[in-house]
C-alpha cells in the first residue's frame, strides 16, 4: 500500500484523483508510523493546509490540532487497536470559528505479507448537520418530557405483546401502587383487578380509536386509546392518554347531588302546598257552599235564587280548579296505586279538559314496584310532555307507552303535532323558554337515565326517557 500510494500521483492518474476529489468524503491514507501518504481535496480543506499537499506530513503536525503531543499519543493508541481489529470508527471535533465541525471517521487497516500493519485508509464524513438535528431533537424531547411530566395526565405506550414501553406524566404520581412502576411489565399483570383496561387495550390493538372513563381506587381518568402503526401501516401497539378528571368528577357528583336535593325539596314544597290548599282554602270554599245551601230555603225572590245559584256554581268551579291544581302538585293516585294508574288518571282528566286531543295508552303495570322517587320523576316528565302538547303542539293524537322489563324502564310520549327544530345545545332551549323540557332532561339524568327528543317541523314530537330499573324483577301480584 505504501508503494501503491507513492506510485499513484495526480500527474500519472488525473482521472482517479478527479473522482476522489469529487467525493463528499475526506479520503486519507497514512502509514503506521503516522506519515500522510495521500489526501483528496476534501481532506486538504479539512486539514487546513493552506494550499500545501498532505503527503509527507505527520498527522500530529497538522494545524488543526490544539495539542500535537496528545494527538500523537492517541494516534498510536488507535494503531494498536487496528492491529487487533479489522476496522475502527470515531468522531472528531475540529474547531471551525465559533463552532466545531464533527467528522465521523471509518479506519480500515492494510497488512503486508508478514501480517504487519502497513497503512490505513481513513474515510471522513461531515456529520455536523446530523448532530445539529440530533441536538434539536434532544431539546424537543426534553421539552416534551418536561411538558408531559408537568401535565395532569399519563401518556402511555403498550407494544403488541402487551408490554408497557412508555409511561410518563404528572398524574403518574397519583398511582401510589404497583402501577406507578409499570415499565417493562405486562398489562395483564398491572391491571389484573381491572379487566376493562385489558379489554380497552385489546380494542385499540384491533384498530379502534375511542375514549372512555376509568376509575382506579378513588381516582377518575378520561382515557383516549388509539392504535400505533409502523411505516408499513401495521399495528405495533397502542398509545393512550389518561387525563386526571378526579376533581371535575367530584364537582359533577356534588352538582348532581345538589340537583337531586333541589328536586326533592321542590317535590316536598309541592306536597306541602297541595296539602295546605286542600286543608285550608279548599275546605273554606266547601264550607261556604254549605252555608249558602242553608240560605237557599229562606229566599223568596226568583232573582235572589238565581244569583245564589250562580254563586254556588262559581264556587263549585273553584273547588274543581283547586282540586285539579292540587292533583297537579301531587297526583293522589301515584303513591297508593303506582305510576301506571297515575298516568291513566291524569290522561283521563286531560281528555275531559281537552276533548279535541285523543290519548291512546299502552302501559305496563308497575304494581307499586318502583321506588317513590322513580315513580314521581317519570310522572313529572310525562306531565311536562302533556303540558307541551297542550301549549305548543296543536296535536290531535297522543300515544303514551310505558314499558317495564327486569332491568329497564322506558316511557314514551308521541304526538302528531307541528313539531319544532331541536337546538344543537340544551342551553339554547332554556334561553328560548323551553324550561320544562330542560327540567325533564335534568330529572332523567338525576335517575341515571337519558331523555331523547325526536322531532322536525310538521312531524310531531317523540319524547322518550329510558332509565335503569332500581329493583330487579317485577313484584308478583
| CA angle (256 as vertex; 252, 257 as ends), nearest 5 | 120
For the question of whether the overall pTM of this predicted structure is more than 0.85, the answer is no
| Chain-centroid distance, C-alpha 252 | 16
Which pLDDT score is estimated for 475? 43
Which pLDDT score is estimated for 411? 95
Q: Give the helix/strand (H/E) hosting 81.
A: helix 68-84
Put residue 12 in one of left, alpha, beta given phi > 0 → left and psi -120 to 50 → alpha. alpha
The low-confidence residues of the chain, meaning pLDDT below 70, are 1-14, 16-17, 49-51, 172-181, 249, 252, 256-260, 262-272, 274-276, 278-279, 282, 297-300, 323-336, 426, 429-435, 471-477
| CA angle (233 as vertex; 231, 235 as ends), nearest 5 | 105
Which pLDDT score is estimated for 267? 63
Report the interhelical angle of 339-353 vs 302-329 (nearest 10°): 140
296 in Cβ contact with 305 (< 8 Å): yes
Report the interhelical angle of 283-296 vs 302-329 (nearest 10°): 160
Which pLDDT score is estimated for 21? 75
Which pLDDT score is estimated for 5? 44
* CA–CA separation, 212 and 214 (whole Å): 7
361 in Cβ contact with 343 (< 8 Å): yes
* CA–CA separation, 175 and 171 (whole Å): 7
* CA–CA separation, 291 and 49 (whole Å): 130
326 in Cβ contact with 282 (< 8 Å): yes
Which pLDDT score is estimated for 461? 92
Whole-Å CA distances, 258 to 263, 281, 436: 9, 33, 19
64 in Cβ contact with 48 (< 8 Å): yes
Amino acid at each position: 500500500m505504501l508503494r501503491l500510494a507513492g506510485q499513484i500521483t495526480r500527474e500519472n492518474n488525473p482521472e482517479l484523483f478527479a473522482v476522489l476529489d469529487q467525493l463528499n468524503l475526506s479520503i486519507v491514507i497514512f502509514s503506521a508510523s503516522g506519515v500522510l501518504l495521500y489526501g483528496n481535496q476534501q481532506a486538504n480543506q479539512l486539514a487546513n493546509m493552506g494550499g500545501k499537499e498532505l503527503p509527507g506530513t505527520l498527522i500530529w503536525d497538522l494545524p488543526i490540532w490544539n495539542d500535537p503531543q496528545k494527538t500523537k499519543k492517541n494516534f498510536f493508541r488507535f494503531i494498536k487497536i487496528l492491529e487487533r481489529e479489522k476496522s475502527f470508527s470515531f468522531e472528531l471535533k475540529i474547531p471551525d470559528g465559533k463552532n466545531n465541525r464533527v467528522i465521523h471517521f471509518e479506519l480500515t487497516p492494510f497488512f503486508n505479507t508478514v501480517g504487519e500493519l502497513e497503512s490505513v485508509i481513513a474515510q471522513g464524513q461531515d456529520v455536523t448537520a446530523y448532530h445539529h438535528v440530533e441536538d434539536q431533537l434532544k431539546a424537543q424531547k426534553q421539552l416534551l418530557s418536561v411538558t408531559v411530566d408537568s401535565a395532569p395526565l399519563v401518556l402511555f405506550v403498550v407494544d403488541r405483546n402487551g408490554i408497557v414501553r412508555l409511561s410518563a406524566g404528572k398524574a403518574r404520581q397519583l398511582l401510589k401502587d404497583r402501577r406507578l412502576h409499570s415499565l417493562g411489565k405486562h398489562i395483564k399483570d398491572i391491571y389484573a383487578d381491572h379487566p376493562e383496561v385489558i379489554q380497552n387495550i385489546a380494542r385499540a390493538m384491533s384498530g379502534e380509536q375511542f375514549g372512555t372513563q376509568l376509575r382506579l381506587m378513588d381516582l377518575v381518568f378520561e382515557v383516549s386509546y388509539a392504535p400505533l402503526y409502523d411505516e408499513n401501516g401495521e399495528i405495533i401497539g397502542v398509545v393512550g392518554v389518561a387525563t386526571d378528571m378526579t376533581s371535575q368528577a367530584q364537582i359533577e357528583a356534588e352538582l348532581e347531588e345538589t340537583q337531586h336535593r333541589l328536586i326533592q325539596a321542590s317535590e316536598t314544597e309541592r306536597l306541602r302546598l297541595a296539602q295546605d290548599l286542600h286543608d285550608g282554602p279548599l275546605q273554606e270554599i266547601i264550607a261556604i257552599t254549605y252555608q249558602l245551601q242553608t240560605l237557599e230555603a229562606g229566599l223568596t225572590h226568583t232573582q235572589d235564587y238565581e244569583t245564589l245559584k250562580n254563586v254556588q256554581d262559581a264556587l263549585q268551579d273553584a273547588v274543581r280548579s283547586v282540586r285539579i291544581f292540587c292533583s297537579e302538585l301531587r297526583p293522589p293516585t301515584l303513591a297508593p296505586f303506582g305510576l301506571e294508574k297515575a298516568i291513566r288518571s291524569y290522561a283521563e282528566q286531560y281528555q275531559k279538559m281537552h276533548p279535541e286531543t285523543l290519548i291512546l295508552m299502552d302501559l305496563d303495570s308497575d304494581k307499586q314496584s318502583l321506588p317513590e322517587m322513580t315513580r314521581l320523576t317519570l310522572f313529572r316528565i310525562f306531565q311536562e310532555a302533556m303540558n307541551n302538547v297542550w301549549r305548543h303542539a296543536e296535536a290531535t293524537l297522543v300515544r303514551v307507552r310505558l314499558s317495564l322489563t327486569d332491568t329497564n324502564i322506558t316511557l314514551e310520549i308521541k304526538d302528531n303535532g307541528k313539531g319544532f327544530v331541536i337546538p344543537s345545545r340544551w342551553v339554547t332551549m332554556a334561553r328560548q323558554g323551553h324550561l320544562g323540557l330542560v327540567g325533564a332532561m335534568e330529572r332523567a339524568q338525576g335517575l341515571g337515565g337519558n331523555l331523547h327528543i325526536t322531532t322536525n317541523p310538521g312531524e310531531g314530537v317523540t319524547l322518550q326517557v329510558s332509565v335503569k330499573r332500581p329493583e330487579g324483577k317485577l313484584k308478583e301480584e
